[in-house]
Amino acid sequence: MRSSARDAYLRDIVFHRQGVPSMDHYPFNLPVLKGLKGLPFHPKVTYIVGENGMGKSTLMEAIAVALGFNPEGGTLNFTFSTRATHSNLYEYIRPVRGMRRPRDGFFFRAESYYNLATNIDELDEQKASAPPIKDSYGGKSLHEQSHGESFFATFIHRFGGYGLYILDEPEAALSPLRQMSMLSRMHELVQANSQFIIATHSPILMAYPDSVIYNLTPEGIERTTLEETEHFIIMKQFMNNKERMLDELFRE
């Protein structure tokens, strides 16, 4: 099992700032790119967290596309396009790969997961004689399951180990219990030589112990701990002082 950053499938990314035509326009004016030169990844789990608008999804998309994934998600084999809305940030991102190559890989993007599920159904209809793609996702159409069930079916059935998994807000359709189950599944996959890069708002998902957390702020990127994130602090304050916080929220 990998134990050093040198052995990670994705060791780092380098941002070629000098080639950018202007840092004053999207996506280059996003806070995530302030002062960014490179970003090293943990060989097991790396978290990208921060408030809305900091550039988490844009960065995750750029990393995934620079690695050859479809902007809307899936494995390296998916080429569908519902609507080309991804930025050109990937053109200025250079992945620094490790010595070993992953056997598996997936870009999971919550906001376009419906499009991925639709494409799987369409491909299965076109290839009636071939093993259905849905067999790799548990044997049932993702559209025939609840949103949360279909998310979890991908994590359980499609992710197979020795993989590089890039997940953008995977908790979006998961209950707290399912988020804890996902932590358990992540651990199984990490034990099977997998690496995760995860953008999330969930303090539960951020709790994997052997990891690094990067917090995106208006001033750029800073390394932090779970207990120092606003997500953890606010959730803890709310649960421990629910009545007082509700009084503050509802005060006229």
pTM of the prediction? 0.93
Q: What are phi and psi of 234, to 5 degrees?
A: -65, -40
Contact 12, 42 (CB under 8 A): no
Does residue 251 belong to any structural domain of this protein? Answer: no
Contact 96, 14 (CB under 8 A): yes
Does residue 187 belong to any structural domain of this protein? Answer: yes
Which structural domain range is residue 67 located in? 5-226
Does residue 142 belong to any structural domain of this protein? Answer: yes
Q: How many CB atoms lie within 10 A of CB 72?
A: 25
Does residue 194 belong to any structural domain of this protein? Answer: yes
Q: Tens digit of pLDDT for each residue in 38-80?
A: 999 999 999 999 999 999 999 999 999 999 999 999 999 888 8
Does residue 169 belong to any structural domain of this protein? Answer: yes
CATH of residue 73: 3.40.50.300
Does residue 233 belong to any structural domain of this protein? Answer: no
Name the domain count of the chain: 1
Does residue 244 belong to any structural domain of this protein? Answer: no
Q: Tens digit of pLDDT for each residue in 163-206?
A: 999 999 999 999 999 999 999 999 999 999 999 999 999 999 99
Across the beta sheet with 104-109, the strand order is 104-109, 163-168, 195-199, 45-50, 211-217, 220-224
Can the peptide bond before residue 131 be classed as cis, meaning omega within 30 degrees of 0?
no
Distance CA 16, CA 38 (A): 9
The contacts of residue 185 (CB under 8 Å, 6+ apart) are 155, 156, 159
